[in-house]
Structure 1
């Protein structure tokens, strides 16, 4: 299988952001348009570009598809920025890639099915010092998202701001995957009956509910020759 070794400067987050900005200019698209088409908030898009290719590969796959680029073109640039080495022959069980990844859409029902009853996701919001993204363990209850946090923490409810919650999965070879994005306001869970059903939060922690305003999902797969 072919392994592409990317020089540190080509894979650096600031290089990724430069390639992204250049592609926006080529296509005449705005940052907001690309974020919407890729199924993420502008704040989360900026976080992905800031932290680079190791932070959220499925999100970068979606961006590459929206921009009409191969995944490696986005994260590592063109041939001048990359060094290719072949460690072994092609994997006979893997069809050759022939273009940018292909995006699809999930229905609302499919999004909730992908989330299941609980799991691990990311919560993103904009704080006083800029975007904040944190992993959270979540529980689904009546099509809302519940998680636990410290009342003094960055993920505590704030009536003036919404939050974005994302869960994604991708196969090890980045050939297919999916993501679900939920955006809405946060509030503390106060219903005694519900709190009695939930695990006790850690010391000083409280349960928080995200009530969806929008629920969107994307699938992504590699384009192959057949």
Structure 2
């Protein structure tokens, strides 16, 4: 007599690493490729080694400007450091669901969702009209009580002054996943002058000041490829 055994169930796939863990792994792999030490990378990015470790521990949402500096030190694109190489991102998309196909689908974001996508800090762009015409510059920003704060030179192109309202824009796009979003805010600029708030903010560079944009309009859009039915 023979006894038949049911085949053993296939092992469950290993869970994908958390964003912070994957970021730290990519950082360590790149350091090894370049022959750099952690301390050398931190110094070249203008931060201490303990702070670098904190950036890696807390993940992509903690201090995007710091990660931007690290990506430059490592010779990587920002998205490559944060989200992996294109093939890695595409594989993650395939694991999450069916492939994206068809023409793009546009959508709108509500005001609350626009603020949620901005988070508490990140990288964006300020656009305004100056004495010499339109100016668009990247900025690191902080969100404070539904306003946007950024630092600039007191006599710079992004400082408050003649030219009317400014526009602030943040977008994210992934060509491999074929999806993205953008948020646009328009409003007046003014210097931050409240002593209590200034005491909480990082000190601006020499001749720099904190500027506040108070949006009067907030709009957002999404775009993605259509999924198969």
Output the TM-score relative to the length of structure 2.
0.55
Q: Distance in 1 between matches of 2:100 and 2:161?
A: 48
Task: Check whether the contact 2:130–2:163 (CA below 8 A) recurs between aligned residues.
Answer: no
> Which whole-Å CA distance do the structure 2 matches of 1:187 and 1:97 have between them?
45
C-alpha distance in 2 between matches for 1:189 and 1:143: 14
2:147 counterpart (125, 139, 144): 144
Structure number with larger C-alpha Rg: 2
Matched position secondary structure for 1:111: helix
For residues 185-204 of structure 1, what are the structure 2 equivalents within 5 Å?
Answer: 185-204=188-207
Aligned partners of 1:159 and 1:185 also within 8 Å: no
Unaligned runs of 5+ in 2: 1-90
1:199 aligned counterpart, secondary structure: coil
Report the alpha carbon displacement of residue 130 of structure 1 after superposing the two structures with TM: 2.3
Closer, same or farther: CA 108–146 of 1 in aligned 2, 3 Å: same
1:116 to 119, 134, 150: 119
Aligned to 2:102: 98
**1:69-84, aligned counterparts within 5 Å?**
none
Give the Å deviation of 1:219.
1.0
Q: Gaps (5+ residues) in structure 1?
A: 1-90
Greater fraction strand? 1
Q: TM-score, normalised by structure 1?
A: 0.56
Ranked by relative contact order (alpha carbons within 8 Å, sequence separation 6 or more), the top structure is 1
Cα deviation per residue 1:41-92 (whole Å; 9 max; x = unaligned)? Answer: xxxxxxxxxxxxxxxxxxxxxxxxxxxxxxxxxxxxxxxxxxxxxxxxxx99
- Indicate whether 1:134 and 2:137 are aligned: yes
Q: Per-residue displacement from partner, 1:147-175 (whole Å, max 9, x unpaired)?
A: 00001111000154111001111124251
2:154 and 2:209 in contact (8 A); partners too: yes
Is the 1:149–1:207 contact (alpha carbons within 8 Å) kept by the matching residues of 2?
A: yes
| Count of aligned pairs between the two proteins | 135
